[in-house]
Amino acid sequence: MDFSRQLIDWYAVNKRELPWRDTQNPYFIWLSEVILQQTRVKQGLPYYKNFVKKYPTVQELAAAPQDDVLKLWQGLGYYSRARNLQAAAVQIVDNDLKFPDTYKELLTLKGVGDYTASAIASFAFNEAVAVVDGNVYRVLSRIYGIATPINAPAGVKEFKKLASNLLNKKDPATHNQAIMEMGAIQCVPKNPNCYTCPFQSHCIAFKKDKIEYLPVKIKKTKVKNLFHHYIVLQTPSRKLLFNQRDNSSIWAGLFEFPYIEAGGALLPAEITGHGIFKNIVGGSRFRESVYNQEPIIHKLSHRKIHAYFWIVEVEDEIDGAITIKEAQERPVHVLMERFMRDFWQLK
């Protein structure tokens, strides 16, 4: 089986037209790859276009205020990607604007690992390095019937070696694009299009009816439940208290209401009697607090956050409080975005 030739022939007919495929600009390619990590193309495409429009060069991204970058990223999640992207842009600017043009040099950039370095090196500079992402794992594990867990060191090594052996050394860019595209639109996780697949006659998973069992992934650790009770203060002038997270925490650099972390649901008296609440309100009198009966649930890889929002109207202004409009302009994480949109009917 001439794997690469069949793959590229399939790609020529079935590929989607995407803006980052029409360029060899390493910055644009890098930007697209970072955005598409943990993000579907349909969701990521508008973000890519907005970033290219606002920050068309590495220099402009490096010089931008981090809050502006995070605000533009808002809604994509995994905000460390945006912070690392900007940090790496600063690295490039500090290196006299020389964009790394080899796989090994690309690995020196903040947040750039094997997959991203391979993608940029092959797509922008035609270096013969194989990309291995979730789509590639799925395609190769099914066609070659490999049951080694893809998130185990042995699996990472095995699949990288196989992908490298199959790589079209003369045209690595097209080969890599093609195998990723096959995993994205043909050999999808559920209900793949096996009967129109050019590899059907060679696919071990198809022959042995193991499509739904491959690729194999070691089960994640048990999910931990977290209960965050956000205190939404409203002053007489309808101002709010908004805090920025430090750089050592989840959602680093994003804004949110002050919150109490607890072991579960709390009663109103437990909120108003808490030290954090008293420190925030100070000597100001407040009306009876209320909260949404149903918490907003947000699932992360190892955590499930139950977010309760307590609305407290105080009778005095509070230092540092900002308007709703100002809060809307700050970069916020998904829990804040959902609450603010629903409670204040923001667009």
33 catalytically annotated: yes
Residue of 17, 33, 60, 181 with catalytic role: 33
Q: Which amino acid is at 333?
A: H
248 close to 200: Cβ distance less than 8 angstroms:
no
Element at 26 (helix H, strand E): helix 26-36
CB 172, CB 128: distance < 8 Å: yes
Asked if residues 86 and 69 have their Cβ atoms less than 8 Å apart, the reply is yes
Nearest to 58 by CA among 69, 73, 46: 69
Per the document, the length of the chain is 347
Using an 8 Å Cβ cutoff, are 343 and 85 in contact? no
Based on the number of CB atoms within 10 Å of its own CB, is 124 exposed (0-12), middle (13-18) or buried (19 or more)? buried
The number of C-alpha atoms within 13 Å of 304 and in the hemisphere containing its C-beta is 8
The amino acid at residue 90 is: V
Task: Identify which of 95, 166, 98, 83 has the alpha carbon closest to the alpha carbon of residue 132.
Answer: 166
Active-site residue set: 33
